[in-house]
């Protein structure tokens, strides 16, 4: 449970800090980053938003580009950015950008050689919050958010753990991975050909099965190059309507898949989560 600080920057009165630690879940060394607002103290631990990034990203993309710290500082919310997969020379990898390191898809792999390390679902839902709540002035009151592959991660993880999170939000999520190329490639590789095992990692299938307890906010740019082939927000809307799940999908005119898009609406996402993080 010990963490080692590797960088520290003051930002908006609080601190952005990167840590490494030995992950028992992933069986390798991992890095994550945390923003701790200035008002966080041991006697006043702050709630947190856990951020899951997209394909090829690390803990750094969101922290450097999203422009989230002004609002998080103002509201007194910590932000934790996970890496997107296990890492290291001993960790299985692939040549492709959408498989292996940088592409963990926030699931627990069952096929070798992936299963030894690719247990990102357990890492994000158990080990990482345990480390954060043990080492920092951060409470166990949390929400979850992400982008693209990380939007898929945020929605599936939130839907499956409604007691652990207060709210869910996503930018440009892969809504229905079992029916799109990115998801089919990853799931067949990490989980095998039995498609029944895929269903528990698919936001649309989870929403079809039961109503979401948690509120979900999704922003999607209509000029996103991945919109029709990989993301398919219409499948999420349809599934949410089946059981009247509290899902709001906002199509944003002219926006693409980039962090320029995320930065334009991140304050609204933080404000959305704050409503639930600070509710009694």
Options 9-17, 132-140, 197-205, 237-245: segment touching a second copy (CB under 8 A) = 9-17
Q: Measured between alpha carbons, how far is 1 from 24 in angstroms, rounded to an integer?
A: 9
CB 166 within 8 A of CB 273: yes
Does residue 261 interact with a second copy by CB under 8 A? yes
Does residue 9 interact with a second copy by CB under 8 A? yes
Among 79, 259, 273, 274, binds a second copy (CB under 8 A): 259
Active site residue 224: yes
Q: Measured between alpha carbons, how far is 185 from 188 in angstroms, rounded to an integer?
A: 6
Between 35 and 121, name the residue whose CB sits nearer to a second copy: 35
Among 1, 4, 6, 13, binds a second copy (CB under 8 A): 13
Structure tokens at 190: 């990490």
Q: Measured between alpha carbons, how far is 183 from 185 in angstroms, rounded to an integer?
A: 5
Does residue 86 interact with a second copy by CB under 8 A? no
Does residue 11 interact with a second copy by CB under 8 A? yes
Active site residue 196: no
Active-site residue (options: 148, 169, 212, 245): 148
Q: Look at residues 69, 41, 53 and name the one whose alpha carbon lies nearest to residue 105.
A: 53
Between 97 and 260, name the residue whose CB sits nearer to a second copy: 260
Identify how many contiguous H helices and E strands the chain contains and give both numbers: 9, 9
Task: State the nearest-atom distance from the C-beta of 48 to a second copy, in Å.
Answer: 19
Task: State the nearest-atom distance from the C-beta of 261 to a second copy, in Å.
Answer: 7
Does residue 10 interact with a second copy by CB under 8 A? yes
Among 20, 27, 264, 271, binds a second copy (CB under 8 A): 264
Task: State the nearest-atom distance from the C-beta of 64 to a second copy, in Å.
Answer: 5
Among 258, 268, 271, 276, binds a second copy (CB under 8 A): 258
Active site residue 257: yes
How many CB atoms are closer than 10 A to CB 93?
Answer: 18
Give the number of residues in contact with a second copy, rule: CB under 8 A: 23
Measured between alpha carbons, how far is residue 256 from residues 92, 180, 252, 279 in Å? 32, 19, 9, 33
Instruction: Give residue 5's region: left, alpha or beta (phi > 0; psi -120 to 50).
Output: beta
Q: What share of the chain is helix, strand, coil (3-state, %, to 5)?
A: 35, 25, 35
- What is the phi/psi pair of residue 201, to 5°? -110, 30
Contact positions toward a second copy, by CB under 8 A? 9-13, 16, 64-65, 67, 69-70, 221, 223, 254-256, 258-261, 263-264, 267
């Amino acid at each position: 449970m010990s963490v080692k600080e590797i960088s520290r920057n003051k930002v908006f009165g609080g601190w952005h800090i990167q840590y490494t630690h030995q992950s028992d879940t992933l069986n390798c060394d991992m890095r994550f980053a945390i923003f701790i607002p200035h008002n966080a103290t041991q006697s006043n631990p702050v709630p947190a938003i856990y951020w899951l990034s997209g394909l090829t990203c690390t803990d750094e993309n969101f922290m450097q580009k999203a422009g989230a710290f002004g609002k998080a500082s103002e509201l007194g919310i910590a932000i934790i950015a996970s890496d997107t997969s296990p890492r290291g020379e001993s960790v299985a990898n692939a040549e492709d950008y959408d498989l292996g390191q940088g592409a963990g898809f926030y699931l627990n792999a069952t096929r070798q050689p992936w299963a030894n390390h690719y247990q990102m679902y357990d890492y994000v839902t158990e080990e990482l919050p345990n480390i954060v709540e043990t080492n920092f002035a951060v409470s166990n009151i949390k929400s979850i958010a992400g982008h693209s592959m990380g939007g898929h991660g945020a929605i599936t993880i939130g839907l499956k753990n409604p007691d652990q999170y207060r709210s869910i939000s996503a930018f440009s999520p892969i809504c229905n991975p079992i029916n799109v190329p990115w998801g089919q490639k990853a799931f067949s590789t990490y989980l095998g050909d039995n498609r029944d095992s895929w269903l528990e990692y698919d936001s649309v299938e989870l929403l079809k099965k039961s109503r979401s307890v948690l509120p979900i906010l999704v922003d999607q740019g209509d000029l996103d190059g991945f919109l029709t082939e990989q993301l398919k927000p219409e499948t999420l809307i349809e599934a949410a309507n089946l059981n009247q799940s509290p899902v709001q999908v906002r199509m944003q005119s002219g926006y693409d898949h980039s962090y320029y898009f995320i930065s334009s609406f991140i304050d609204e996402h933080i404000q959305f989560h704050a409503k639930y993080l600070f509710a009694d």
